[in-house]
Amino acid sequence: MSPQAWINLAYLAASMLFIVAFKLMTGPRTAVKGNYLGGAGMALALAAASAACFEKDVVASVARSGATPLVLLGVAAVIGGVIGAVMAVRYPMTGMPQMVALLNGFGGAASALVAGAELWNMTRRAVETGSERADAAAWAASQLAPWTQFAIATALTGLIGAVTFWGSFVAFAKLEELPAFKKAWTDPKRHWVNLGLAIATALVIWGLCANPGSVALYILLVLLGSGLGCTLTLPIGGADMPVVICLLNSYSGLAAAAAGFVIDNSVLVIAGSLVGASGLILTAIMCRAMNRSLVGVLFGGLGTTSAANADDVYAGKVKSASAEEIAMVLEGADRVVIVPGYGLAVAQAQHAVRELATALEKRGTTVEYAIHPVAGRMPGHMNVLLAEADIPYEKLREMDDINPTFPETDVAIVIGANDVVNPAARTDPQSPIAGMPILDVDKAKTVVVVKRSLSPGFAGIPNPLFAADNTLMYFADGKKAILDLTAALHGA
């Protein structure tokens, strides 16, 4: 077999490893192995690609100047690897969505750069081949002319890559709650801006197909894609971020697949499309969980706020309780369901919650956790945060599973969750979250809401649950509240 055949075989093996890696992601125990196999596949693919350079490396070191590709590549890989490892070890679990957004963005940018580099190389190769001919320039153009498919693939890589990078950057800024990005850009003019950018993008892609070797057009396309990445993500509200993260994840995969079309490399196409599929599935799941269409998330903004005014909803009806009073209620409870929201993670109260659950279980109370699909800020985020606090995942119940059990629940403790327990989603068709599947905590005999104030959640709307007859509000910082509650329970 030729060296190239061996390299292709290694790519095939790497592709198979990726598929098995995804396959093993179905259970927490096998997933560890899956992650190793994914890493092994990546290492194999990178080694094979480097081996392809080895031949050129020798030629370059003999015939050309001092810089050899492998040294150069080694330096780049070490720089990137160290930055990645440091980020991965340092980032807190609460910041996982931001971390994933950043990594997505880097992946997308890398794909756009790969396509750009190949465009440069391709043009040069065509020129070099024809350099001995009298009509060198015309010959080069004729060599590139039939490459419409190449041009389309290059254009798509540049476009998706740029959208992914800038979209991820904006998503990161929103998730980090950087002041400049706190408010969604809801100016109706944005639709015209997007439309203008989209038309310009289409024209440039068309131009690139007509002149497949044009580096200038490619750069213009990447700039337009960068603009689109920003203008498409800026209007999206904080509550919709889980959808955006999934979608960007999908884009980063599709950009890699498109780059595979550009350089004619099947492992890029396979791995990229696996990731693209994964991101699309998660996007669909997130949209369903929020009862929103993808188009609505991307272009709709958050809609107008409901007629319900915070003062009308809360006035005189909110009952506040102390730790001791709540401990007395908990004392008589047989079944307690804890509803954790992102606020719990912000307050770093996961461990305190586990201690409260242990104290309750010692008294013979059943404790379970109700996890809304969009609890946290990315799919499955809350499960990770609770796992970090050693809460066994068997006790974490999914929404459809636990909702029918709320009427038999004595106490539901809502900690740092708001929109996902807002009964307005069921009752008020005017509400911006109307129809969103929620956890029916209001059906529990008693609801305890731990919250610092009556401030609204991501959706920016009041929550009638806080004013319900069976609701006790416990105004305090999440962690301190749970610790006090546990202490009061021990004292009772």
Partner 1 sequence: MPMLVLAPLLATAAGEDPASRFIRLLTVFLLAMWVGFEVITKVPQRLHTPLTSGSNAISGITAVGAIVVAGAMVTGMGTVFGFLALVLAMINVVGGFVVTHRMLAMFNPKKK
**Active-site annotation, residues:** 419
Contacts (CB under 8 A) with partner 1, residues 254-273? 255-257, 259-273
Q: What is the CA radius of gyration of the chain?
A: 27
In the list 167, 227, 229, 253, the residue contacting partner 1 (rule: CB under 8 A) is 253
Beta bridge partners of 471: 447
DSSP 444: S
The DSSP-derived string for 126-187 is: HHHHTTTSTTHHHHHHHHHTTTHHHHHHHHHHHHHHHHHHHHHHHHHHHHTT-GGGSS----
Residue 243 touching partner 1 (CB under 8 A): no
Contacts (CB under 8 A) with partner 1, residues 10-69? 11, 15, 18-19, 21-23, 25-29, 31-32, 34-35, 38-39, 41-42, 45-46, 48-50, 52-53, 55-57, 59-60, 63-64, 67, 69
Measured from the CB atom, the residue of 51 and 308 that comes closer to partner 1 is 51
Distance CA 307, CA 325 (A): 34
Contacting range for partner 1; rule: CB under 8 A; set: 96-104, 192-200, 407-415, 438-446: 96-104
Tokens matching residue 328: 């007395």
Residue 73 touching partner 1 (CB under 8 A): yes
| CB 259, CB 115: distance < 8 Å | yes
| CB 253, CB 279: distance < 8 Å | yes
Per-residue string for binding with partner 1, 396-435, x by CB under 8 A?
x-x-------------------------------------
In the list 276, 340, 464, 478, the residue contacting partner 1 (rule: CB under 8 A) is 276
In the list 208, 228, 246, 424, the residue contacting partner 1 (rule: CB under 8 A) is 246
In the list 193, 223, 387, 454, the residue contacting partner 1 (rule: CB under 8 A) is 387
Distance in Å, CB of 416 to partner 1, minimum: 18
Contacting range for partner 1; rule: CB under 8 A; set: 70-78, 297-305, 445-453, 480-488: 70-78
Measured from the CB atom, the residue of 229 and 462 that comes closer to partner 1 is 229
Measured from the CB atom, the residue of 249 and 409 that comes closer to partner 1 is 249
Amino acid code (one letter) for 252: S
Nearest residue to 478 via CA among 388, 349, 377: 349
Amino acid code (one letter) for 141: A
DSSP 316: T
Q: Which residues of 127-137 are buried (b: 16+ CB within 10 A; e: fewer)?
A: beebeeeeeee
Can you say whether residue 460 is alpha, beta or left, with left for phi > 0 and alpha for psi between -120 and 50 degrees?
left
Contacts (CB under 8 A) with partner 1, residues 358-377? 371, 373, 376
Distance in Å, CB of 198 to partner 1, minimum: 24
Distance in Å, CB of 313 to partner 1, minimum: 31
Residue 5: count other Cβ atoms within 10 Å of its Cβ: 9
Can you say whether residue 348 is alpha, beta or left, with left for phi > 0 and alpha for psi between -120 and 50 degrees?
left
Distance in Å, CB of 368 to partner 1, minimum: 14
Residue 110 touching partner 1 (CB under 8 A): yes
Distance in Å, CB of 466 to partner 1, minimum: 27
Q: How many residues bind partner 1 (CB under 8 A)?
A: 133
Contacts (CB under 8 A) with partner 1, residues 133-192? 143, 146-150, 153
Rounded to 5 degrees, φ, ψ at 446 are -130, 140
Measured from the CB atom, the residue of 76 and 315 that comes closer to partner 1 is 76
Give Cβ neighbours of residue 389 (< 8 Å, ≥ 6 apart): 350, 351, 353, 354
